[in-house]
Structure 1
């Protein structure tokens, strides 16, 4: 069976309302919050059969801790990383590596910290 390599992701948060506001501002999306018996999930938009993977924010102080230097690095796809970079600091995040060309055939990347202290990345061809 052919599928995307990333099947699921969870971004740890300590303040769901703050993290929700940040991701909605930077990516211009609507994050749906669900309380699953003490664990809060903030689902990112997702459509069956379209590229990308399901996931979002997770708040559970017993099992998840945001990190700016350890753990998995998630790359969000973008038509141009400059779009999201222009909104990160205004939403309370911090750019830690500006738009940088990886190579002409791979495209560009950038690194940022979200409002929770997680290190994340952006990727685009342009």
Structure 2
């Protein structure tokens, strides 16, 4: 199995890249990532390299999404953010692409420093 290290310039960039990759898998295998990961976790898929990568990308996506939600819920004052239709659980990664490039906030440098402090090379 090949090892690949990917570095992102910001958390939103990482989420966008992962969302695009997840969307590629979902289209190719006609299954959303959440359903795939449930089957993968229960051993209902093979351990082909592509499935291992898909599962790893989905776990990375979930971790970044959770970090982003945790960071925003811990803020005492939240910046004003445009209203958007919530994405329902079980949505396809393609649904998230409409938010690409719409990140708002004044904590970019803080987020970037957090990424530098906490990231580790991804091995697949």
TM-score, normalization by structure 2? 0.28
**Structure with max Cα Rg:** 2
Structure with the higher fraction of residues in strand conformation: 1
Which of the two has greater helix per residue? 2
